[in-house]
C-alpha cells in the first residue's frame, strides 16, 4: 500500500486533514500491527509531507499527464501497447552514437570500444515472483544473460538492483541474490555490483519486492535484429519458459511445472554458438519472450523491414511437453507467451551447422519459418493457410487475474495519441533543460 498516494487521492477529493489522517491511521495499524500513538504520528507526518509538495509548478516538479494508465495501455504486458510505449521512449532518447540503439527494439544495446562491441542490457524480475525470491533472482538473471548472448556476445559481468517494501523480511534480498548467483556461477559470470533499497522508503507498506538484473558482454560479431534478410531461415530451440511460465504454474495450480523452468539449456546452447565459427554466419538471434513468438517476430519484421513467415505446425513441438500440457489445460496461447526459446535467423546454407552445434549442446532445434521480401509483416501458416500473426494488445493472459483484467478497454488509437503527446511533452522538457545545462557560463 502506497500511503503517499492514499493521501494524495483524498486531498484531490477535497477531504479535510483530520479525516485523511484518521483513515490512514486505521490502515497503518491494520497493516503494520503498531499501536495507536505511533500510527497517528506516522499518518500526520505523511499528510504533512504531501501538503508540502502539493501545488508546486515548473519543469522540475510537474509532468504532462497522458491520462492513460500503465495497466490500460498494457505497459509491461508485452503486447502492441507495450511496444508502442517503448517506441516513444526511443523518440525521447533520440539519435545516439550507439552501434545498436533503443530505436531498433533489440534485446540489448551496443557501443564500440577498442575495436569491440560492448553489450549492455537489464531485465526486471517478474512482478508476481515477489513471494518467491529465489525464483525471481534465478529467472531474471537467466533472462538478462540471454539478452547478451543473442547479440553474439559473451557475458562478462552481472549487476543487480533489489527493492523490498518496508515490511518485507530482510531474508528476501539474500534469497534473491542466491538465485542470481546460482545462474552466474554456473555460467562463470560474476555478480560485481548492485543496489539494495526499500520500495518508496517509508511510504509503501507491505512486503512487495521488485528489482532487476543487468549484464555486460563483449562481442566481435553482432547478431542484432536489423541484419535479418530475405531468404533467411528461422530456427528455434525447445523452450520451457522462465519467470512467466513459473508464474503461470504457481498461480494456476501447476507447481510441479516450475521444475521444468530450472535449467540452463538456452545459455548452454548460446555458449556453444559463441564458441563456434558458425556464429559469423548468423544474421540475428533473439529469445522468444516479448509477447511470445507473436511479439518477437512482429518486432523483427518491423526492424528489418521484411516479411516473416512462421510455420505454426512446427512450433508446438518445440514447447517442453509438461509446459505445453499446462498451457493447453489453461487455454493459454503458447504463441503469445514467453517461452524462453532461442530464435536464430541465418542463411539456409548455415542452418545445418547451426543445428548441429545446438544439438551437440543437448538442446532440440528445428526450422520454423523463413524471411521474404515485402512490407514489414508477420504471417502464421497453419495447414498451408496464411493467418495474421500480429501481437495482441497484451501477451496471453497466463494467470487467473490476468484473465480478468484482459478485457476490451478504451479506444486504442485514442490512447496512442494521448501517449504520443505525453512523450512529445517529455522531449520538449528535455530540450529546455539541456538548453539550460549547456548554456555558456557568463564571463
Highest mean pLDDT among 103-112, 113-122, 397-406: 113-122
- Domain check: are 204 and 124 in the same one? yes
End position of a domain, from candidates 171, 189, 222: 222
- 123 vs 125: CA distance, rounded Å: 7
The span from the CA of 77 to the CA of 83, in Å, is: 9
The per-residue pLDDT for range 137-190, each reduced to its tens digit, is 999 999 999 999 999 999 999 999 999 999 999 999 999 999 999 999 999 999
Does 255 lie in the same domain as 205? no
pLDDT at 393 > cutoff 80: no
Q: Single out the residue of 148, 151, 219, 228 nearest to residue 183, CA to CA.
A: 148
Given a cut of 80, whether residue 366 has pLDDT beyond it is yes
Q: Which pLDDT band holds residue 45 (cuts at 50, 70, 90)? A: very high
Which string of DSSP letters, residue by residue, matches 125-170? Answer: PPGGGTT-HHHHHHHHHHHHHHHHHTTT-EEEEEEEEEEE-TTS-T
Cell 495507536 -> residue = 36
Say which CATH number the domain at 393 has.
3.90.650.10
> Over the stretch 182-211, which tens digit does the pLDDT of each residue have?
999 999 999 999 999 999 999 999 999 999
Range of the domain at 21: 3-53
110 with 203, same domain: the answer is yes
Strands 209-219 and 154-164, how do they pair? antiparallel
pLDDT of residue 300: 92
157-192 CB burial, b ≥16 within 10 A, e <16: bbbbbbbbbbebeeebbebbbebbbbbbeebebebe
The answer to whether residues 187 and 255 belong to one domain is no
> What is the band of 326 on the pLDDT scale with cuts at 50, 70, 90?
very high
Is residue 20 domain-shared with residue 140, that is, in the same domain?
no
Look up cell 540452463; give the residue. Answer: 264
Specify the pTM: 0.92
CB 263 within 8 A of CB 295: no
H or E, element range at 196: strand 191-198
Question: 209 with 317, same domain?
Answer: no
Decide: residue 311, CB within 10 A, 0-12 exposed, 13-18 middle, 19+ buried.
Answer: middle
Cα–Cα distance list, 11 to 8, 77, 106, 239 (Å): 5, 31, 43, 49
Residue 428 lies in a domain: no
The reply to whether 291 falls in a domain is: yes
Q: Of the residues 398, 413, 437, which one is the last residue of a structural domain?
A: 398
Task: Reply yes or no on whether the pLDDT at 282 is more than 70.
Answer: yes
Query: 235 and 209, same structural domain?
Result: no
Q: What angle do CA 120, 164, 179 make, to 5 degrees?
A: 55
Number of domains in the chain: 3
More confident residue, 273 or 407: 273
Beta strand 154-164 with 191-198: parallel, antiparallel or unpaired?
Answer: parallel
Long-range contacts of 15-20 (CB under 8 A, 24+ apart): 17/47, 17/51, 20/47
- Indicate whether 188 and 305 sit together in one domain: no
Q: In this structure, are residues 87 and 99 in contact, taking their beta carbons and an 8 Å threshold?
A: no
Same domain for 275 and 285, yes or no, is yes
| 338 and 387 inside one domain | yes
pLDDT tens digits, one per residue of 88-99: 999 999 888 899
Looking at residue 245, its pLDDT comes to 96
Together in a domain, 217 and 313? no
How many CA atoms within 13 Å lie on the side-chain side of 224? 22
Task: Tell me, yes or no, whether 149 and 286 share the same domain.
Answer: no
Amino acid at each position: 500500500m502506497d500511503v503517499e498516494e492514499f493521501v494524495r487521492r483524498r486531498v484531490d477529493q477535497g477531504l479535510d486533514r483530520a479525516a485523511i489522517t484518521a483513515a490512514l491511521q486505521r490502515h497503518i495499524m491494520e497493516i503494520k500491527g503498531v499501536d495507536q500513538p505511533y500510527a497517528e504520528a506516522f499518518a500526520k507526518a505523511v499528510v504533512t509531507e504531501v501538503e508540502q509538495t502539493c501545488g508546486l509548478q515548473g519543469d522540475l516538479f510537474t509532468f504532462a499527464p497522458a491520462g492513460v494508465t500503465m495497466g490500460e495501455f498494457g505497459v509491461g504486458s508485452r503486447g502492441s501497447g507495450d511496444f508502442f510505449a517503448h517506441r516513444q521512449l526511443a523518440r525521447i532518447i533520440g539519435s545516439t552514437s550507439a552501434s545498436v540503439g533503443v530505436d531498433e527494439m533489440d534485446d540489448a544495446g551496443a557501443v564500440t570500444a577498442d575495436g569491440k562491441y560492448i553489450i549492455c542490457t537489464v531485465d526486471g524480475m517478474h512482478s508476481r515472483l515477489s513471494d518467491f525470491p529465489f525464483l525471481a533472482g534465478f529467472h531474471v538473471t537467466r533472462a538478462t544473460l540471454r539478452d547478451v548472448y543473442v547479440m553474439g556476445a559473451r557475458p562478462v559481468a552481472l549487476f543487480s538492483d533489489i527493492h523490498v517494501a518496508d515490511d518485507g523480511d530482510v531474508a528476501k534480498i539474500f534469497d534473491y541474490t542466491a538465485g542470481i548467483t546460482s545462474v552466474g556461477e554456473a555460467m562463470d559470470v560474476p555478480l560485481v555490483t548492485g543496489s539494495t533499497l526499500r520500495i518508496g522508503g517509508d511510504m509503501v507498506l507491505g512486503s512487495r519486492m521488485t528489482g532487476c538484473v543487468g549484464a555486460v558482454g563483449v562481442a566481435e560479431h553482432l547478431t542484432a535484429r536489423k541484419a535479418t534478410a530475405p531468404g533467411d531461415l528461422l530456427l528455434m530451440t525447445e523452450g520451457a519458459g522462465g519467470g512467466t511460465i513459473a508464474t503461470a504454474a504457481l498461480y494456476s495450480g501447476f507447481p510441479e511445472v516450475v521444475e521444468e523452468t530450472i535449467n540452463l539449456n538456452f545459455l548452454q546452447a548460446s555458449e556453444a554458438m559463441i564458441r563456434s565459427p558458425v556464429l559469423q554466419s548468423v544474421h540475428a538471434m533473439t529469445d522468444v519472450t516479448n509477447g511470445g513468438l507473436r511479439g518477437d517476430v512482429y518486432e523483427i519484421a518491423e526492424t528489418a523491414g521484411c516479411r516473416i513467415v512462421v510455420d505454426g505446425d512446427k512450433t508446438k513441438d518445440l514447447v517442453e511437453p509438461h509446459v505445453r500440457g499446462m498451457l493447453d489445460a489453461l487455454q493459454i496461447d503458447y504463441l503469445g507467451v514467453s517461452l524462453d526459446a532461442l530464435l536464430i535467423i541465418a542463411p539456409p546454407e548455415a542452418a545445418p551447422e547451426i543445428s548441429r552445434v545446438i544439438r551437440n549442446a543437448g538442446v532440440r532445434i528445428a526450422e520454423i519459418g523463413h524471411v521474404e521480401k515485402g512490407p514489414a509483416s508477420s504471417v502464421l501458416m497453419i495447414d498451408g493457410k496464411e493467418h495474421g500473426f500480429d501481437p495482441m494488445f497484451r501477451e496471453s493472459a497466463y494467470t487467473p487475474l490476468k484473465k480478468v483484467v484482459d478485457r476490451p478497454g478504451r479506444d486504442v488509437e485514442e490512447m496512442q495519441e494521448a501517449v504520443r503527446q505525453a512523450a512529445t511533452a517529455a522531449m520538449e522538457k528535455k530540450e529546455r533543460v539541456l538548453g539550460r545545462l549547456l548554456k555558456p557560463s557568463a564571463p
